[in-house]
Structure 1
Amino acid sequence: MFSINTSDTDLVGLSTPDPLRYAFSRKKGAHAGGHMSAIAPERVQEELKGALRFASTNIGAARCLYIHIPFCRVRCTYCNFFQYASSKTLMSQYFDALVKEIRWKSSFAWSQSAPFQAVYVGGGTPTDLSSEQLKVLGQMIRSSFPLTADCEITLEGRVNRFDTQKFESALEGGFNRFSFGVQSFDNTVRLAAKRLDKSDYVMDRLQSMVRYNAAPIVIDLLYGLPHQNLENWQHDLESYLESGVDGVDLYQLIEMKGLPMERAVEQGKLPMPADTAMKATMFQMGVEFMAKHHQRRLSVNHWASGNRERSIYNSLAKTTAEVLPIGAGAGGNINGFAMMQSRDMDTYIHAINQEQFPTMGLMQVAKDAALTSAIKSAFDRGVLSRSRLDKVAGYSLFEALKPLFEAWQSNGLVDVDNHYVQLTLAGQFWSVTLAQNAIQIIQENSKSALSTQVIIDAAVA
């Protein structure tokens, strides 16, 4: 049996009449995760070449490609990903290096040994690339890597300056899904967040692309921003339906630490963003709105308006799928290694020109990575299966975690039976926190068991 302190409110939440808003003081972060160990810098190049030199032995496993475009015209006040302003000269130099990296990495045996199910071009703002660059990039992806027949190739960005010519060029290049960070349709909220363009223009561009009927169009809406209230959040939800797009992600503002928003609030230039209780109310409004209008739920945060939107990359990235990273600031995992590529442009370009991996950190994935991924994926879907969890763990983990599940149930976060743990509305809002807490319990008990075994082995010796 696991040692689980069910009186630890940081672990099981508070016993409160309103767990949606007050089960925990705040979310732990945007994503759950596990532990990894660092590879010595002098071994990085050799280890990565070894990982890619041979064909994958994990035949049938899911794999994705992530390509990072680290440029934006402006930095949004809530954004922690801004790297470089969209200079045409610098973007041209970067694109040349990106093409070289695609050619180089696609030449490895690992890259050619199995098809990729999903490709995601993110940023930054990939839609700041020129029409010709978008077309070339799409064509290179399709010609350089083996892809499944139904491979989802997503281009992320904003509608700003993504005109009809760019859209048609991207389609011609082979992109078959488009994801736009709208965040809000309210002009006051947009201006405060430094989002470009007025809401009328955003709506017009979205509806124009939808009318092509050529690829799924999905959007992100962010709740908890300065100047957001329940009234304009309701309008955002209604605007999603009005736009006619194929899907929507509802994300909450997590942290302000170190962001332009924090400084603006401190200087009195922006009001405080919503607190956790208000964001919980907004989440509830979103869930109830989507249910009322019969939107198909793909995860705790993502809905589709019909059968066209699949969100393959986002789903696979939360599992044990391998992700080949390309571009400055791209992250991924291959053959038991997790990596992040350098964000520094000069470092990145120099490394690619030398056919060196521009990796600023290489980690050995933990032995329990598959289990950690299974838990993250399950909580993202909103339901944890006993059979699936025990199969991945290789032992009766569901039963070992039962005291944790029952404590969550007592606090209104989940419903538990002999086969499943299903997140309540409150549990869905706190899903990342719950996943992280489950992973924490498993890792703590695994360390305890390992320490005990070491002591026993020493005594026997």
Structure 2
Amino acid sequence: MDLDNVDVVGRHTPDPLRYAFQRKRGAHAGGSGMMSRAISDTDAIQSTLNTVHNTTDIYVNSNPSRNTRCLYIHIPFCRVRCTYCNFFQYASSRNLIEQYVEALIKEIRFKATSAWVKSGRFHAVYFGGGTPTDLSPEQIARVVTAVRDSFPLTPDCEITLEGRVNRFSDEKFSSALDAGINRFSFGVQSFDTQVRRSAKRLDDRKPVLERLQQLSSYNAAPIVIDLLYGLPYQDLSVWQRDLEDYLSCGAQGVDLYQLIEMQGLPMARMVEQGKLPMPADTPTKASMFEMGVKFMAKHHQKRLSVNHWASDNRERSLYNSLAKTSAEVMPLGAGAGGNLGGWQMMQVRDMETYIKMVDQNLYPVTFLMPTPSNQPIASIIKSGFDAGVLHAKRLNAATSTNIFSQVTPLFKAWQQNGLAILERNEQGLDYLSLTLAGQFWSVTLAQILIETVSGIHPQPKNTDFSKTNNPDVAA
């Protein structure tokens, strides 16, 4: 541990919330992948995945992989590409969407027959994109029904449909509810009309607010919204109105995410061309985060993670908390990513290739890589920092050593710099709690800790599969 490195311990400053680090490292923390063992050969991918999907006793780092499971279903269509979006694939087209739905249902039924699927239940299902609400009412019902009929889901499985309120009619809402959707997540980003128009969002403030109020008033399923802070034209006063509009829209939950500038996106080009003002800098985004946390506390919103709040007990944000941390995620659809059986994978994005592979009962995967060897440790760290507190007992269990004590010098440096607080309860159990500043920098801190712990306690280089079911044999 280089405790003199400000990139590791942060700056010693009277204002760590705004100036502990120069910028956020990325959208998510994670372990380093095993690129040297990545597979891109089509035959090797098919052989490996066939082994994984038809095995029920795969072991990864001596731990059974049959833990928490989720499904991610990707709908890669949007009518408009938002200026900050890195996920745009295809413009919405009736004919292409119908072809895609047919292929997606084939993939759902094909994968659902595997021994791996049948060996455990799934705790959460997420329909993401893209814009899943661009599907017709009938198409939504068909896809959701195919998932519920094909996969073993837990009785309390959270099934989320993501999308826009634009053109999300009562017919679509009813169709989704009848099919089994029990949570809706709408990407509002900002209610402000000028901010929305500059980001290429559909609809102005009033229709968005009114539609959310209508959907929430039905009291049929949790309505959750995403708000993004740091967008062009979104100053502190606009952000304050965005927070107030969240309360007035009646939604049962909200995510507050900061804008992460990424080169090559439409927003960056428009700023360079002088068509948009610069988005907020890091200190301003830190102020927005602080405003959001205080606002939610003032209005007694229940905090579920460092970035997510709920207004009632129905909102659990289950998929978000599981998929970002410890769950295995089976991907379905063109462009979907996931991990299962000790492998990370990305499915093909090209629509023609995806449909062709599904028609041939092939796994539509273009890239396969062994799960990072430090994944168990990384999962504990990501989960803890997402919740705002790291448990010594859980971290130590992941390494079978007292690793918490070994990295305590780093924790003390963070504490000195206002990012965290070391605590010991009456039972002698240790915890690291993030301060407000630490919560804002939680992804950065999690990544630093993952790298530090992995350096102190290196994991085996090779994924530990059982000898009789080793995917490497196929590769």
TM-score range, shorter chain: over 0.9
From 80, 86, 90, the equivalent of 1:84 is 90
Aligned letter for 1:29?
G
Counterpart position of 1:40: 39
- Alignment of structure 1 residues 247-286 onto 2, 5 Å: 247-286=253-292
Give per-residue Cα distances to partners, 1:290-330, cap 9 Å, x unaligned. Answer: 00000000000000001010011011112221111000111
Q: Which residue of 1 aligns with 2:143?
A: 137
CA offsets 1:164-219 (integer angstroms, 9 cap, x no match): 11111111111010000000010000000000001111111111111211110000
SS at match of 2:232: coil
For 2:61, the equivalent position in structure 1 comes to: none
Normalising by structure 1, we get a TM-score of 0.95
Matches within 5 A, 1:144-155: 144-155=150-161
Q: Matched residues in 1 for 2:220 and 2:458: separation?
A: 52
Q: Distance in 1 between matches of 2:67 and 2:458?
A: 29
Q: Aligned to 2:174, what secondary structure does the other structure show?
A: helix
C-alpha distance in 1, partners of 2:331/2:316?
A: 22
Whole-angstrom CA distance in 1 between matches of 2:365 and 2:146 = 23
Equivalent residue in structure 1 for 2:203, among 197, 207, 213: 197
What does residue 467 of structure 2 align with?
none
**Aligned: 1:377 with 2:386:** no
- 8 Å CA contact 2:39–2:367 kept in 1: the answer is no
1:453 matched residue in structure 2: none
Q: Distance in 2 between matches of 1:319 and 1:197?
A: 34
- In the TM superposition, what whole-angstrom CA distance separates every residue of 1:230-289 from its partner, at most 9, and x where no partner exists? 111000000000011100000000113111001111111100000000000000000000
SS at the partner of 2:83? coil
Listed as ranges, the matches of 1:207-218 within 5 Å are 207-218=213-224
Cα displacement (A) at 1:346: 1.4
- 1:25 matched to 2:25? The reply is no
Alignment check: 8 A CA contact 2:256 2:308 kept: yes
The answer to whether residue 416 in structure 2 is matched with residue 410 in structure 1 is yes
Instruction: Identify which range, 359-368 or 154-163, moves more after superposition.
Output: 359-368
Which 10-residue stretch deviates more, 54-63 or 207-216? 54-63
* Runs (5+) with no aligned partner, structure 1: 451-461
| Residue identity in the other structure for 2:436 | L
CA distance in structure 1 between the partners assigned to 2:139 and 2:207 by the alignment = 24
Contact 2:420 2:432 (8 Å CA) reproduced: yes
Report the Cα distance in structure 1 between the residues aligned to 2:57 and 2:219, rounded to whole angstroms: 37
Matched length: 447
Q: Which of 330, 341, 348 is equivalent to 1:342?
A: 348
Quote the residue 1:173 is aligned against: 179
8 Å contact kept, 2:399–2:457:
no
Secondary structure, counterpart of 1:291 in structure 2: helix
- In the alignment, which of 432, 437, 444 is matched to residue 433 of structure 1? 444
In structure 2, distance between residues paired with 1:245 and 1:23: 33
Q: Distance in 1 between matches of 2:291 and 2:326?
A: 32
Partner Cα distance (1:64, 1:128) in 2: 23
Partners of 1:270 and 1:71 lie apart in 2 by 25
Label 1:126 to 1:409 Cα distance change in 2 as closer, same or farther (>3 A).
Answer: same
Say if 1:20 and 1:429, in contact at 8 Å, map to a contact too: yes
Match of 1:387 in 2: 393
3-state SS, counterpart of residue 141 of structure 2 = helix
Whether the 8 Å CA contact 2:389–2:431 is kept in 1: the answer is yes
Contact 1:56 1:114 in 2 (8 A): no
The alpha carbon displacement at 1:153 in A equals 0.3
The code of the aligned residue for 2:454 comes to: Q
- Distance in 2, matches of 1:361 and 1:60, equals 23
8 Å Cα contact 2:326/2:383 also seen in 1: no
1:9 aligns with 2:6: yes
Give the AA of the match of 1:218.
Answer: V
- SS for the counterpart of 1:417 is strand
- Kept in 2, the 8 Å contact 1:68–1:123? The answer is yes
Normalised to the residue count of structure 2, the TM-score between the two structures is 0.92
Which residue of structure 2 aligns with residue 456 of structure 1? none
Q: In structure 2, what residue type is equivalent to 1:39?
A: A
| Bigger mean CA deviation after superposition, 22-31 or 313-322 | 313-322
CA contact (8 A) 2:303 2:310 kept: yes
- Select the structure with the greater relative contact order (CA < 8 A; seq sep ≥ 6): 2
CA contact (8 A) 2:65 2:341 kept: no
Q: How many Å apart are 1:56 and its aligned residue?
A: 5.3
Root-mean-square deviation (CA, aligned residues, Å) is 1.4
Whole-Å separation in 1 of the counterparts to 2:419 and 2:57 = 40
Cα deviation for residue 446 of structure 1 reads: 4.1
Query: Which shows bigger deviation, 186-195 or 345-354?
Result: 345-354
In 2, Cα distance between equivalents of 1:411 and 1:152: 39
| In structure 2, distance between residues paired with 1:216 and 1:437 | 35
Distance in 2 of aligned mates of 1:104 and 1:449: 34
**Deviations 1:35-66 (Å, cap 9, x if unpaired)?**
22233333211111111112356486110000
1:51 maps to what in 2?
A: 52
Match of 2:303 in 1: 297
Deviation, 1:76, is 0.3
